[in-house]
Amino acid sequence: MFPPTRLKSCLPVMNPMFKRLRPHRPFRQTPYHNQTKVSNTVTNTKWMNLRAIITRWVPLGSVMYVGWCYIRASVNYEVSKVEIKFYEMFPFRITSRLWGRLAACELPTSIRNFVYGTYVRIFNVNLNDAAITDLKYYKSLSAFFTRPLREGARYISPAICVSPCDGVVLNCGPADTDKIEQVKGVTYSLEEFLGENKWSENSDPNYYNSLLKDKNNILHQCIIYLAPGDYHRFHSPCDWTSKFRRHFSGKLLSVNPWMARLIPGLFTMNERAVYIGEWKHGFFSMTAVGATNVGSIEIYSDPNLRTNTKGKRNRVDELNINTSYCKGELFGQFNMGSTIILLFEAPKDFKFEFKSGERVLVGQALTGCAVHAR
């Protein structure tokens, strides 16, 4: 018979299954360098778990990807469909809701000058146009974003149609086909943008022609981008009556000019509130397009409108209305920069007073006064 100690020492050799039966060893303090290895392992695990991926890698990857898109836009790089789908997968609706809640939080009076002052310097905000220039007056970032203009800060031109907001013109001119140019060389579908024609009695099977009240006219468009530093309220561009409202839930992709050059049909993807009616020359529509961190679109005459709510992205809400607006009248506001799109019927000789890329202000004439004397 083998002594017990000899038998135990042979077991690991006889069968690997008995490796756990090794004799007990006295406790030994772990060397410092081993502790360092354990600490590094724990640190690496923290950076690779699900929470780290959501809170660290996804935001970092989003920033890097958007930056890469900006670089490619500067060299006229054509983005692929796979990259567009990948970009669309980011949870911009969720982040926009979170940003909205954060922006609505009341800030302590002691830090308002610093927070708003930093914002003013970064986005080149012109405080001289604000009704109240004291930064401590604004309780939250949202209140500062939607600050009113001082009396007389904008001159409303006597022209028949004026700019509804402050911003940069992405595109303007005739829209004589079903494919509308959102920026040079990049288009979007007129029917996808406005949706089914339920507001007109015109039964023309051609969608474009069904919008026109006078067959001698054509459609014209004006796309104005509001940057984060611009005045965030928008006004009625003319005297008109809105008869129908359609709200597309959509996505909240960025509508920066360089992003509009990369993604065809961007305005048909994003959340938007479309107001459709008539003006002097026939069909008229004004659309407020949402964007990243601009989930909240408020229309003063439409308190039932709720934007960036939970639910499916393909929801469409329709409402028959009958609201008249005067030129220069306050229409609504964004909670950050976004885009206003005007699509309207006018004679073929309608000419815009400015070109794409130029900056416009509320009340600035879209066209000469003498063109529409009829």
| Alpha-carbon span 252 to 318, nearest angstrom | 20
- HSE at residue 46, side-chain half, CA atoms within 13 A, is 6
Structural contact between residues 346 and 278, judged by C-beta atoms closer than 8 angstroms: no
CA distances from 180 to 194, 199, 204, 265 (A): 12, 21, 20, 9
344 contacts: CB under 8 Å, gap ≥ 6: 161, 219, 220, 221, 279, 281, 282, 283, 284, 285
- Among residues 240, 243, 229, 249, which one has the least CA distance to residue 289? 249
Strand 272-279 to 218-225 pairing: unpaired
DSSP 135: G
Interior angle at CA 22, CA 20 and CA 28, nearest 5: 105
Please give the order of strands across the beta sheet that includes 316-325: 316-325, 240-248, 272-279, 282-289, 339-346, 218-225, 167-175, 359-360
Cα dihedral 248, 252, 254, 255 in deg (nearest 10): 10
- The residue type found at 310 is K
| Alpha-carbon span 324 to 332, nearest angstrom | 14
| Candidates 220, 232, 235, 281; catalytic one | 235
- HSE at residue 4, side-chain half, CA atoms within 13 A, is 3
| Candidates 96, 157, 285, 338; catalytic one | 338
Helix (H) or strand (E) holding 275: strand 272-279
| Candidates 96, 142, 157, 166; catalytic one | 166
Structural contact between residues 318 and 246, judged by C-beta atoms closer than 8 angstroms: yes
Q: Is 166 an active-site residue?
A: yes
DSSP 95: H
The label of the residue with tokens 């724990």 reads 42
| Alpha-carbon span 93 to 91, nearest angstrom | 6
Q: Is 235 an active-site residue?
A: yes
Catalytic residues: 166, 235, 338
